[in-house]
Each structure stands twice: as structure tokens, then as C-alpha cells.
Structure 1
Amino acid sequence: MAYIISTWLAIYFVLWWVTLFVTLPFGVRSQHETGGASPGTDPGAPTISLMGRRLIWTTLLSAVVFGLGLAAYQAGYLSIERLSRLMGIPF
């Protein structure tokens, strides 16, 4: 039972990081776009990062995707045999 929980946590951890990198560019305004570039900084640097919101959205979105994946696994759609048959790899 402990290895199942640790496997689920590892999958969620990787999924959370992938989701974070997907959500990072949304809503970012650069210094060049806002017209408030500080001297000595890159014009493409963001003005306000709002990382707290991004972390909350990442956690919620990755929990939904993880829940859908877990439900698909429990229903038998994500078994090794089925996925290998879909990819044409003999199991």
C-alpha cells in the first residue's frame, strides 16, 4: 500500500511541475509592453509575476488532470496492455 501512495505522489509531483511550466506564460506582461522598463533590466522581464496565483492555479489544474488520469486508470483505460497495443508494441 505504501508503494502505491508513493507512486501516486511521484506522478502528481511530475505532473505538477509540467503544469507549472504550462501555466507560467499566461497573463505575463513584460516591461516593454507596459512601458515601464527599469534601467539595466531586460525589456522582456515581467513587471509583476503573481507567482502565488500561478501556484494555486497549477495545484488546482494538476489535481484535476491527476484525478482524470486516476479515474481512467481505475476504469482500465490506462493499463500497460492497452497502451502497448495502441502503440503496436508487443507485450
Structure 2
Amino acid sequence: MQPISAIAIYFLFWFLSLFLVLPFGVKTDREAGIEPQRGHAESAPHRFSPGKVVLRTTILAAILFALFYANYVFGWITTDTIDFVKLGE
């Protein structure tokens, strides 16, 4: 695998992980016991911590990329493994 391809795939995993991680640990104003201010959405987070989100996203993306790369090197799951229809046979 070319290094630029590995970097591109890592960033794909990073952005996928970002959307997986965003909803965890978020509380609305009502869940935090505070009355929301007028004009704010009811679902808006009480406190948003971008540092925690970036750290969690980076860790999850690294784990997912490591699994992807290990599969690429060792060939645990191939296209033949997931081809259930076997067209042409």
C-alpha cells in the first residue's frame, strides 16, 4: 500500500469515527438541570468539548485503521470470503 493511500484511508476512517463519536457524552441543558436560554435549540449540547471529541475520534480511527491494515497485510477477509452469490460458477 502506498503511504499516500494509507493516509487517505486513515482520514476516511477518522471522519467516519467523528460521526460515530459525536453523540456520546453529550447532555442537553435540561439533562444538565439548567433551563435552556430563549432562542436556543432544545437539543443543543450544554457544554461541547472539541478536544475530547478529537481525541476519542483519533483513537477510534487508529484502531479501525490498524484492523484494516492488518487485514490488508494478512488477508483475513477477502472478496472471495464475502462473495455469497458466486456469479459465473
TM class, shorter-chain normalised? 0.7 to 0.9
**Structure richer in helix, relative to its length:** 1
Distance 1:14 1:86 in 2: 22
Paired AA for residue 5 in structure 2? T
Backbone CA RMSD of aligned residues: 1.9
Q: Identify the structure with bigger relative contact order (alpha carbons < 8 Å, sequence gap 6+).
A: 2
Q: Which residue of 1 aligns with 2:11?
A: 13
Shift of 1:16: 0.3
Structure 2: tracts of 5 or more residues without a match: none
Q: Which residue of 1 aligns with 2:79?
A: 83
Distance 1:26 1:18 in 2: 14
Shift of 1:69: 1.2
Partner SS, residue 21 of structure 1: helix
Alignment: residue pair count: 86
**Normalising to structure 1: TM-score of the pair?**
0.82
Q: Which residue of 2 aligns with 1:47?
A: 46
Shift of 1:73: 1.1
**Normalising to structure 2: TM-score of the pair?**
0.83
